[in-house]
Structure 1
Amino acid sequence: MEFSDVSVFIGRFFGFYLLIVAVALLVNRKRLISIVKSFADNPALMIFSGFVNLVLGLLAVMFHNIWVSDWRLVVTILAWLTLVKGLGRWFFPDVAKKMAVKVNDRWVVITALSCLVVGLYLLSNTF
């Protein structure tokens, strides 16, 4: 079964991105917790990052909105989550700020391991 080049490209993009995020979170846990909390206090950065997530999420959803029961479903869900994250930072910055303030060591480890598993899953299915 062959998959479209777009599915493979976006799957690899998310796979590598999640793998890099996982390693960065595990290597720099304490520093990243501090950065996330200070990020929440910067409204301009919150809006800008929301814009970046909005654009990337919208592009990913427009090019890959495939609801099938294989690895492409993970890509579609990640695309929608990216879009929702961008919209959330634009329309509900106070909620995003409250979430950022709650970031702790346990959250970082759980997030890193989740990113690692999903990233490896996508990479193993797109190469």
Structure 2
Amino acid sequence: MGTAASELAQSLPMGLAGAPLAAVESMSRAEVVEWLLAAALLVIGASLALRPRVWIRAFAAVASHPLTPLLGGLYALLVGLVIVVLHNLWVADLRVLVTILGWLAVASGVTMLLAPEVYMMVLRRIPLTTRLVAIRGVVRMVLGGAILSYLLTHAG
């Protein structure tokens, strides 16, 4: 992390500027992306797995809204670009999963922004059963757990 992060850490009370920020400062950009993605996959996955009915209602509410591909595309493209710019690692270990997920997010964002009708057609065809939504959540938790496990076993 740059001097701005160091200055911020020094200006915060000790309890807020403790080990977590110091740990982040010692990480590479790729490691920060890996930690963030692992956390997001675990939390979003748990939400999907534990609250599938809430997600089904949310999906149904946005499935026909014209802003869905625009907002979804902006979000997916931004997240994907951050991942691939900071973590474009084509290596023979689990870190490549982060890179692949980043490129998939970029492709998804581009599709939503440039071919929204294709995205909406696909969105409408996705089965919305509680079981399938929960399974999607479990898959995300497995991916997040795999990344987290890699991080914990390969800590510098």
TM-score range, shorter chain: 0.7 to 0.9
Give the AA of the match of 2:38: G
What is residue 111 of structure 1 aligned with on the other side?
Answer: 136
Q: Residues 21-60 of structure 1: CA distance to partner in whole angstroms, max 9, x if unpaired?
A: 1111112111211211221211223201211111121121
Of 45, 48, 52, 2:68 maps to: 45
User: Are residues 107 and 95 of structure 1, via their aligned partners in 2, closer, same or farther at CA, if it must alter by over 3 Å?
Assistant: farther
1: CA distance, partners of 2:57 / 2:113: 22
* Higher fraction of helix: 1
Q: CA RMSD in A?
A: 1.5
- State the secondary structure of the residue aligned to 2:88: coil
Q: Which has the higher contact order (CA 8 A, sep 6+)?
A: 1
Task: Tell me which moved more, 74-83 or 29-38.
Answer: 29-38
- State the secondary structure of the residue aligned to 1:100: helix
> Structure 1: 5+ residue runs without aligned partners?
none
What is residue 85 of structure 2 aligned with on the other side?
Answer: 62
Q: Which has the larger radius of gyration?
A: 2
Q: Residues 80-118 of structure 1: CA distance to partner in whole angstroms, max 9, x if unpaired?
A: 011111111112222222232223224312211110110
State whether residues 64 and 76 of structure 1, in contact with CA within 8 Å, keep that contact through their aligned partners in structure 2: yes
What is residue 84 of structure 1 aligned with on the other side?
Answer: 107
1: CA distance, partners of 2:119 / 2:59: 11
Give the AA of the match of 1:110: I
State whether residues 15 and 123 of structure 1, in contact with CA within 8 Å, keep that contact through their aligned partners in structure 2: yes
The alignment covers a number of residue pairs equal to: 124
Return the TM-score normalized by structure 2. Answer: 0.73
The percent of aligned pairs where both chains have the same amino acid is: 27
Return the TM-score normalized by structure 1. Answer: 0.88
